[in-house]
Amino acid sequence: MAISVVMPALEMAQETGKLLAWRKKEGERVTKGEPLLEIETDKAVVEVEAPGDGVLAGITADVGAVVPVGQTIAWLVAPGEKPPAMAVTTTPAARASASPERTSAATAVQATEQRVEAAPQISPKARRLAKELGVDISKIRGTGPDRTITSEDVQSLADGKGAAAPVGVQPLSQVARLMAERTMQSWTSVPHFFLVRDVDCGELIEAQKRFSQEMERMPGVAPTITDLLIGLLAKVLAKHPRMNASWSPEGIRSNPEINVSVAMAVKDGVVGAVIHRANTAKIAEISTLRRELTERARAGRLRPADITGGTFTLSNLGMYKVDAFSAIITPPQAAILAVGSISERVLPVDGKPGIRPMMTMTLSSDHRVVDGARAAEFLSGLADAIREPEKLL
Amino acid sequence: MPEVATRELTFAQAIREALAEEMRRDSRVCVFGEDVAEAGTPFKVLSGLVDEFGAERVMDTPISEAGFTGMGVGAAMTGLRPVVDIMFGDFLTLTMDQMVNQAAKVHYMSGGTWKVPMVLRTTLGATRRSAAQHSQSLHAWLSHVPGLKVVMPSTPYDAKGLLKTAIRDENPVVFFEDKMMYKQKGPVPEEDYTIPLGVADVKREGEDITIVATSSMVQVALGAAELLEKIGVSAEVIDPRTTWPLDEKTLIESAKRTSRAMVVDEGYGRYGVTGEIASVIAEGAFYNLEAPVKRMGAMHVPIPFSPPLEDVTVPTEQTLFEAARALCGKG
């Protein structure tokens, strides 16, 4: 029986994916799990694996096409079999190598979020002109009423005047636009509250040195403070499941796995790369994975599983010498921890002024999921863990 | 417009002059209706006509629109060229059988043996504080019927030229005059001229939006165009002058050039003249349009007697300006 190949939804609010390349040709045999196509989402370029065995047939999406999530773009058929008629095009969830962590509740959230942004309108004249000039209308920013694309917008793109942005305005990239929309949505709809706590990192630094020495002979492994914080966070989250839960309109959804998302800077924005099941991973594993993710993020080649399923986010701006900051939650996650740099500060130690390596943590929480006391308990547990990292790691 | 046209007449004077000239030119032309003779109609359009042509050719009738419209149809069939006066367009309802089933059909059903060269003159337009039964603009009703021609002049010049053509036409023509426009002045040449039916007139040239306006709405559209000019929108105003025959080509070509179009007419918006013209433009200029064709007509209510309420039922310069501005994405 024919298996449909659909444009996968790789993240919560993805609406379309751009087809970058077919890795197989029409009529070629493919086996399940082989790379089948390459797509670009709002955040990353990803490879999509074949959902089954068969012969690739009935390709409907050309390279460069922007396709709505869930739309069938090809079929895997038995040799000699014809692809079905294209009436059956809506398979909502990603069938290719999309994250197995997705739950039905998550899909429901995705469905509601998809309404936010409809495809832009284009005037009949503009559509005709775009066809005549060979202009890709997905690249045009409409300037007409309700952001309708007008023929002027088409013409100015064809004339090489960019995406018809007004003078002095930088048109937004996909990543930048998505970041703007998601942070706006979170900041205006999630009731944030913030808890701040300083923590002594002396032992944490010692632990990092020790791990580094232990792993010296392991190629490509050099645990950082961030890696240790991921490991500690995950262990502490295991004791505070509510901090690892998600808000949904139906109620609070607990997440069976602890997947720590690490905020990483990419061109034009930020992306949350996910260390799955971080509570059961060894520091060496976390370190290796985190390094790989960083490299893929820099190259803009994150894979679907790399950016999906996060249940709690860690954002570290210590390397920028930031003392402390408040971060915006990534819905439907319940919280995000923002950590600043570790710096030597004078403070009382055993009744005398002492100098200790201190770090300020700011926990942003969704008040619909957790209250102040619950978040404080978690932050206290985390501070204890950082002060005595050997106990958990 | 001819260069010698320096003389100004009111809309009413232009109508009267057209009638007088045609009555002098052709002895078969006669006028009848309520209060057309001594009274010269309540709007004083026909004042003095009876003095020149006598009560036999300018004849008062009883208050029976169905009766004297039928008389007009019969007179036309048997050799006269009557101009029937229906005081208020609202009373057209009483003439419907004569106009729709007789006047419009006779030529077809007699295989061309009979013809009905008659003109039915009547009025349209609100804001005269005449309440719901004396304020309607029912030209869409007649425009809907094959066999009838419908004329809607918007200036004294057009009124005279079009009425003369209507009187000379071999078919039944319904001639709508805006009762609020009778005192409006405009240049009208003294020499004989006619304007063909089915030829639109560009009242104002423009580049950014086409406003198709009929009758009472032409001046409104020209006023709105002035307001639009101030915000940098150049509006073209076109008066089709006749809803049937309709100069589709001029409307479509203008909309193709400006790529935006609005249609404004004082009849009811729903199932009205605006819908028909907007559809013609959409079909003909679709691939040149930047926006849907916008319609503006009278509000879908019986026209209120209360002046403040009546005033909001019809499009104004300001409402037309606002709608055009939005359509151009400038608001």
Say if A118 falls within a structural domain.
no
Give which of B210, B252, B281, B290 to mutate to test A binding, by max A Cβ within 10 Å. Answer: B290
Q: Which CATH class is domain B201-325?
A: alpha beta
Give me the count of residues in chain A: 393
Is residue A27's pLDDT more than 80? Answer: yes
**Cα-only R_g, chain B:** 19
Mean pLDDT on A255-279: 90
CB contact under 8 A, A125 and B288: yes
The count of structural domains within chain A is 3
**Degrees to nearest 5, angle at CA B218 with B216 and B223:** 110
Number of cross-chain residue pairs from A and B with Cβ atoms under 8 Å apart: 32
For B300, phi then psi, to 5°, come to: -80, 65
Maximum CA pair distance of chain B?
A: 59
- Of A132, A151, A171, the residue that ends a domain is A171
Q: Give the gap in angstroms from C-alpha B177 to the nearest C-alpha of chain A.
A: 37
Residues 6+ positions from A346 with CB-CB distance below 8 Å: A353, A354, A355
User: Would you say B82 and B119 are in contact if contact means Cβ atoms under 8 Å apart?
Assistant: yes
As a whole number of angstroms, the distance between CA A62 and CA B119 comes to 64
CB contact under 8 A, A151 and B291: no
Say if A114 falls within a structural domain.
no
Is residue A118's pLDDT more than 80? Answer: no
For A66, phi then psi, to 5°, come to: -100, 115
Mean pLDDT on A43-60: 82
Query: What residues make up the domain containing A156?
Result: 124-171
As a whole number of angstroms, the distance between CA A8 and CA A36 comes to 12
Residue of B nearest to A146 (CA): B329
Q: Which residues of B touch A151 (CB under 8 A)?
A: 259, 290
Whether A263 and A289 map to the same domain: the answer is: yes
CB contact under 8 A, B290 and A143: no
CA A340 from chain centre, in angstroms, equals 22
- Any A CB within 8 A of B292 CB: no
Say if A116 falls within a structural domain.
no
Residue of A nearest to B290 (CA): A123
Whether A150 and A207 map to the same domain: the answer is: no
CB contact under 8 A, B287 and A143: no
Share of chain A above pLDDT 90, in %: 41
Residue of B nearest to A131 (CA): B287
Whether A254 and A132 map to the same domain: the answer is: no
pLDDT digits (tens, 9 = 90+) for A292-317: 999 888 887 777 778 888 999 999 99
pTM summary value: 0.56
Whether A138 and A253 map to the same domain: the answer is: no
In this structure, what CATH number is given to the domain that contains residue A90? 2.40.50.100
**ipTM of the complex, rounded to two decimals:** 0.75
- Any A CB within 8 A of B282 CB: no
What part of B 310-329 touches A (C-beta under 8 Å)?
326-327, 329
- Any A CB within 8 A of B288 CB: yes
pLDDT digits (tens, 9 = 90+) for A75-111: 888 888 888 765 444 443 333 344 433 334 333 333 3
As a whole number of angstroms, the distance between CA A311 and CA A366 comes to 13
Q: Which residues of B touch A126 (CB under 8 A)?
A: 290
Q: Which residues of A touch B289 (CB under 8 A)?
A: 123-125
Say if A78 falls within a structural domain.
yes
Say if A99 falls within a structural domain.
yes
**Degrees to nearest 5, angle at CA B25 with B20 and B28:** 90
Q: Which residues of B touch A125 (CB under 8 A)?
A: 259, 287-290
**Lowest mean pLDDT, pick from A35-39, A116-120, B218-222:** A116-120
CB contact under 8 A, B291 and A128: no
Q: Name which of A124, A144, A148 is nearest B287 (Cβ-Cβ).
A: A124
- Ordered DSSP codes for B171-213: S-EEEEEETTSTT-EEE--SS-----TT--EEEE--SSEEEEE
CB contact under 8 A, A151 and B290: yes
Q: What is the pLDDT, as a whole number, of residue B4?
A: 56
Residue of A nearest to B282 (CA): A124
Q: Which amino acid, one-letter code, is at A383?
A: A
Q: Which residues of B touch A123 (CB under 8 A)?
A: 259, 289-291
Q: What is the pLDDT, as a whole number, of residue A116?
A: 39
- Of A171, A187, A210, the residue that ends a domain is A171
Residue of B nearest to A145 (CA): B329
Residues of B that are catalytic: 134
Q: Give the gap in angstroms from C-alpha A129 to the nearest C-alpha of chain B.
A: 9
CB contact under 8 A, A123 and B291: yes
Q: Beta strands B261-268 and B209-213: pairing type?
A: parallel
In this structure, what CATH number is given to the domain that contains residue A140? 4.10.320
3-state secondary structure of B8: strand
Q: Which residues of A touch B287 (CB under 8 A)?
A: 124-125, 128
Q: What is the pLDDT, as a whole number, of residue A101?
A: 39
Locate tokens 């003392």: which residue? A323
Q: How many CB atoms lie within 10 A of CB A162?
A: 13
- Any A CB within 8 A of B234 CB: no
Q: What is the CATH number of domain B8-187?
A: 3.40.50.970
Q: How many CB atoms lie within 10 A of CB B251?
A: 23
Per-10-residue mean pLDDT of chain B, 331 residues long, equals 72 97 98 95 94 97 97 98 97 98 98 97 94 95 98 98 98 97 95 96 98 97 98 97 98 97 97 97 96 96 95 96 93 68
CA atoms within 13 A on the CB side of A381: 18
Q: What is the pLDDT, as a whole number, of residue A108?
A: 37
Say if A92 falls within a structural domain.
yes
Residues 6+ positions from B88 with CB-CB distance below 8 Å: B122, B123, B130, B133, B134, B179
Q: What is the pLDDT, as a whole number, of residue A62?
A: 83
Confidence of residue A136 (pLDDT cuts 50, 70, 90): confident
Whether A186 and A317 map to the same domain: the answer is: yes
CB contact under 8 A, A145 and B329: yes
Whether A22 and A137 map to the same domain: the answer is: no
Six-digit token pair at B244?
A: 């049937």
Residue of B nearest to A128 (CA): B287
User: Would you say A293 and A301 are in contact if contact means Cβ atoms under 8 Å apart?
Assistant: no
Whether A143 and A196 map to the same domain: the answer is: no
Q: Give the gap in angstroms from C-alpha B315 to the nearest C-alpha of chain A.
A: 22
Q: Which residues of B touch A144 (CB under 8 A)?
A: 290-291, 329
- Of A103, A137, A159, the residue that ends a domain is A103
Q: Give the gap in angstroms from C-alpha A149 to the nearest C-alpha of chain B.
A: 9
* Domain assignments of chain B as residue spans, ordered by start: 8-187, 201-325
pLDDT digits (tens, 9 = 90+) for B204-241: 999 999 999 999 999 999 999 999 999 999 999 999 99
CB contact under 8 A, B291 and A144: yes
Give me the count of residues in chain B: 331
Assign 3-state DSSP to chain B and report helix, strand, coil percentages, each to 5.
40, 20, 40
Whether A24 and A67 map to the same domain: the answer is: yes
Whether A96 and A154 map to the same domain: the answer is: no
CB contact under 8 A, A144 and B290: yes
As a whole number of angstroms, the distance between CA A190 and CA B50 comes to 83
Q: What is the pLDDT, as a whole number, of residue A12?
A: 52
**Is the previous residue joined to B245 through a cis bond, with omega within 30 degrees of 0?**
yes
Question: What is the 3 state secondary structure string of chain A?
Answer: CCEEEECCCCCCCCCEEEEEEECCCCCCEECCCCEEEEEECCCCEEEEECCCCEEEECCCCCCCCEEECCEEEEEEECCCCCCCCCCCCECCCCCCCCCCCCCHHHHHHHHHHHCCCCCCCECHHHHHHHHHHCCCHHHCCCCCHHHCECHHHHHHHHCCCCCCCCCCCCCCCHHHHHHHHHHHHHHHHCCEEEEEEEEECHHHHHHHHHHHHHCCCCCCCCCCHHHHHHHHHHHHHHHCHHHHCEEECCEEECCCCCCEEEEEEECCEEEEEEECCHHHCCHHHHHHHHHHHHHHHHHCCCCHHHHCCCCEEEEECHHHCCCCCCCCCCCCECEEEEECCCEEEEEEECCEEEEEEEEEEEEEEECCCCCHHHHHHHHHHHHHHHHCHHHCC
Whether A134 and A222 map to the same domain: the answer is: no
User: Would you say B137 and B126 are in contact if contact means Cβ atoms under 8 Å apart?
Assistant: yes
Whether A287 and A338 map to the same domain: the answer is: yes
As a whole number of angstroms, the distance between CA B75 and CA B63 comes to 18
Q: What is the pLDDT, as a whole number, of residue A161?
A: 66
pLDDT digits (tens, 9 = 90+) for A171-202: 677 677 778 888 998 999 999 999 999 999 99
Whether A164 and A182 map to the same domain: the answer is: no
In this structure, what CATH number is given to the domain that contains residue A247? 3.30.559.10
pLDDT digits (tens, 9 = 90+) for B90-145: 999 999 999 999 999 999 999 999 999 999 999 999 998 999 999 999 999 999 99
